[in-house]
Chain A
Amino acid sequence: MVLADTVVGAGLVAAGAVTGLLTLTFPDTGERIGPAFAPRAVAGILIVLGAALAWQGLRRGRGARRSAPPRLHEGGRPAALVASCALYLWLLESAPALGFPLLTPPLLFLIGLLFGGRPTPGLAVSSILLAESSYLFFHVLLGLPLPRSAWF
C-alpha cells in the first residue's frame, strides 16, 4: 500500500492546510490561547505527519514496484453494504411516509444476501421479524423516537 500512503499523506497535508486557513476566520477573543490555537496546532501536526507519510510512501515505492497490486475487488461487497445503508437513510429522510417499519426489512434482507444467505422466504421472514420486533422494542417499549411510518 505504498501508493496509498502517498495519497493519504498528500490528503493530510491538504486537510491540514485547509484547517489552518479556516482558523483565520475565527474571532480574536483577547485570550493568549484562544479558539484558534488548538485547531492550528492540529493543522500543523496533520501537515507534518502527512508530509512524512507521503515521503515514506515515495521512498518505499521505488523498491516495491513489483509488489502485488491492491485487491480492489475485495471492497465490492462492503461498498454495496454502505450504498444500501446510505440509500436506506436517504429514503428515511426523503420518504417519511415509509418510515423505519417499512424500509428496514428490505435493508436487512439485502444484508443477509450480501453475507452469503440465499433469497429464500426464510430470510425474508427473518428480516421482517427482526425489523418489526426491533421497532416494537425500541420505539414502543423504550420510547426511542425512530422514524415512524404513516401507516404504523
Chain B
Amino acid sequence: MLGDLLSGFQVVLAPGTFLYLLLGVVLGIVVGALPGLTATMAMIVLLPVTFGLPAIESIQLLLGVFVAGITAGSVTAIAVNIPGTPASAPTVLDGYPLTLQGRAGEAISVMYVTSMVGGIIAALACIIVAPQLAAFALRFGPPEFSLLALIGMSLVITLAGGALLKGLVAGALGMALAMVGVDPISGYPRFAFGSRDLEGGIGYGAVIIGMFGFAEVLFSLERAWQAHGTGAVPQIAGSTWSHLRIALSRLVELRWSVLRSSAVGIVIGALPGLGSDIAAWIGYDVEKRFAKRPEEFGRGSLQGMTGCEVANNSEAGGALIPALTFGIPGDPQTVVILGALMLHGIRPGPLLFTQHQEVIWSLFAGLVAAQATTLVLGLLSVRPILWLISRPHHLLYPAITLFCIVGAFSYGNSLFDVWLMLGFGLLGYVMRKLGYPIVPLVLAYILTPMVESEFRRGLLLHGNDPLGFLTRPLFVGLLVVGVLSFWSASALLLQVRRHGQLERE
C-alpha cells in the first residue's frame, strides 16, 4: 500500500500534473471565498475543461477545487460574517466574533491549519479503508450491489435536508428520470418516444450541470449583494508568518478537538446524504459537549470554530470511501468527481482498484497534496481574497453560464444535452424556490439504474425468486449494516435539526 501511495505521489508531484492541482486549489480558494459560489459549482464549471485532459490531471484539478473550495469558504465567514459555502455557516458563530476582537488573522490561520490536519487525517482514513473495502466488495454479486445502491438511495432521500415528504418526492422524480432510455436487460427503449437522443437516457452531464450549476446561477440572480460585492472588509494586522506561528501553537492546544472532529467528518462523509454542512454542525455540537468552557461558544471560541472547520474538511475523505468503492456518491462534490471519471470511461466501484490503479493512487495522493497546497496558498491569499470579495462580481456569472453550456455540450457533443441542462436548471431553481432538496433527485437518478439492473441480474441468478437473496450471507450482513446506518444517521440528523431549532430560538 505504501509503495502504491508513494508512486501516487510521484505522479501527482510531477510538474505537469501538479500544475493542475495547483490551478484547482487557486480556483477553489477564489470560488469558495466568493459568497454564493460553491465548490460544487466551480467543479461543474471545470467539467468541460477536463474533457480535453487525461483522467489523472482531470481528477487533480477537481480535487484541488473540492478541498480548497470548502476550506476557503470560511475566510468570508470569519472576516465579514458571510459564509462562502453552506459548509462554513457554523463558522460564523465563533469566527466573526474573533474578527470583532481584532483576531481575524489568527482565526483564519487556525482555520487553515486545523482544516489541513483534519483533511489529511480523513485522507489517510480513506487511503486505509477504501482499498480494503474494495477488495471485500469484489465478493459481492448483483443482489448485494442492488441492496447497496438501495441503501444509499434511501439514506440520501430521507436525510438530505428539508421536509421528509419533499425529499421523497425529489427522490421519486430522480427515479422517474432514470427510467428514460434503453432497458438494461432486454434493450427495449423506454419513454424515448422515437427520439434517438432519448434512447441513450437522460445525460448525466445535463442533469448534474443543470441542477448544481445552472440552477445556482438562476438562484444567484435574486441575491442583489452578489452583484455589488460585500463592501468594506476588515484590515488584518500582522504578517502571515506570525499568524502561522500562533496557529501552530494553537494546534497543539486543540489537538483533541481536531481528532474528534476528524472522526465526526469521516463518519458523516461515509454516510450518503448528509454532506459537509451537516458534518460542520455536528462537529460544532460535539465540541460544545466536550468543551471545558461551553459558555464561550458563540463569543469567539477557537474550539468551536475548529469543531466545524475540521469536520467539514474531513468529510471529503469520508465521502470518497463509498463513492470510489461502491460507486455510491454521498454528496454533490463526489457526484462531480464520479462524473469526471465516467467522462473518461472509468467506472467507479471495486474494479477501479484493480483496473485503474494509477488513477486511484494518484487520487489518494492528490487528496493529501491538495490539503497542504490549500494551507500554503490559502494563507498567502487572505488579503487578495478579502479585496476580491469587496468588488462587484457580475462579470463572473456570464462565464459560469457559458461553462455550464459548454460542459453540457461536451458530454455528448450535442445541443440536445444543452437543452436538457437548461430544463434541469429551471427545474432545480423551481425546486429550491419551493423548498424541495435537489440532492435526492440527482442521487436517485444516478443510483436507480444500478438498483434495477443489479436486482434483475440477481433474479436471473436465483431462478426469479427474490427470497433466494436471503440465502446469501453477504446480502443478509449488508441488510443489517444498512438498517444500522439508517438508524444512526437518522439519530444524528435529528440531533442536528434539534440543535438548529435551539439556535433559532
Binding site for B on A (CB under 8 A): 1, 4-5, 8, 12, 15, 19, 22, 26-27, 29, 31-35, 38-39, 42, 45-46, 49-50, 52-53, 56, 74-75, 77-78, 81-82, 85-86, 89, 92-93, 104, 107-109, 111-112, 114-117, 123, 126-127, 130-131, 134, 138, 141-147
Instruction: Choose from A82, A108, A146 the contact partner of B398 (Cβ within 8 Å).
Output: A108
A78 CB to closest chain B CB, in angstroms? 4
Residues of A near B165 (CB, < 8 A) are 49, 52-53, 56
List 6 additional A-B contacts (Cβ < 8 Å) besides A46-B176, A93-B415.
A29-B188, A53-B165, A107-B398, A109-B398, A131-B402, A144-B48
Asked if B183 contacts A19 (CB within 8 A), the reply is no
Between A and B, 17 residue pairs with Cβ closer than 8 Å are A1-B435, A39-B179, A45-B172, A46-B176, A53-B169, A56-B165, A77-B222, A78-B221, A82-B426, A89-B419, A107-B401, A111-B398, A115-B220, A116-B394, A117-B394, A117-B395, A130-B398
The answer for the CA separation of A35 and B190 in the assembled complex, in Å, is: 8
B73 CB to closest chain A CB, in angstroms? 21
Are A42 and B402 CB-contacts (below 8 A) given A8-B169, A112-B395? no
Asked if B190 contacts A116 (CB within 8 A), the reply is no
Asked if A33 contacts B459 (CB within 8 A), the reply is yes
With both beta carbons as reference points, the residue of chain B lying nearest to A35 in the complex is identified as B183
Dominant SS among interface residues on chain A: helix
Residues of A near B179 (CB, < 8 A) are 19, 38-39, 42
The answer for the CA separation of A45 and B250 in the assembled complex, in Å, is: 53
Asked if A32 contacts B224 (CB within 8 A), the reply is no
A-B pair count, CB < 8 Å, reads 150
Asked if B176 contacts A42 (CB within 8 A), the reply is yes
B399 is an interface residue with CB less than 8 A from chain A: yes
Binding site for A on B (CB under 8 A): 48-49, 51-52, 165-166, 168-169, 172-173, 175-176, 179, 183, 185-186, 188, 190-191, 217-222, 224, 226-228, 392, 394-395, 397-399, 401-403, 405-406, 409-410, 413, 415, 418-419, 422, 425-426, 429, 433-435, 448, 452, 455-456, 459, 464
B169 CB to closest chain A CB, in angstroms? 5
With both beta carbons as reference points, the residue of chain A lying nearest to B217 in the complex is identified as A81
Asked if A142 contacts B394 (CB within 8 A), the reply is no
Asked if A39 contacts B191 (CB within 8 A), the reply is yes
Instruction: Choose from A32, A46, A78 the contact partner of B172 (Cβ within 8 Å).
Output: A46
Asked if A115 contacts B188 (CB within 8 A), the reply is no
The 3 A-B pairs of least Cβ separation, nearest first, read A142-B52, A116-B227, A35-B183
Residues of A near B397 (CB, < 8 A) are 111-112, 115
Residues of B near A127 (CB, < 8 A) are 398
The answer for the CA separation of A115 and B166 in the assembled complex, in Å, is: 30
With both beta carbons as reference points, the residue of chain B lying nearest to A1 in the complex is identified as B434
Residues of A near B183 (CB, < 8 A) are 35
Most A C-beta atoms less than 10 A away, residue of B52, B172, B426, B448: B172
Residues of B near A19 (CB, < 8 A) are 176, 179, 191
Residues of A near B464 (CB, < 8 A) are 31-33
With both beta carbons as reference points, the residue of chain B lying nearest to A29 in the complex is identified as B186
Residues of A near B415 (CB, < 8 A) are 89, 92-93, 147
Residues of A near B175 (CB, < 8 A) are 42, 45
Most B C-beta atoms less than 10 A away, residue of A81, A93, A117, A141: A81
Asked if B169 contacts A49 (CB within 8 A), the reply is yes
Are A86 and B422 CB-contacts (below 8 A) given A27-B188, A104-B402? yes
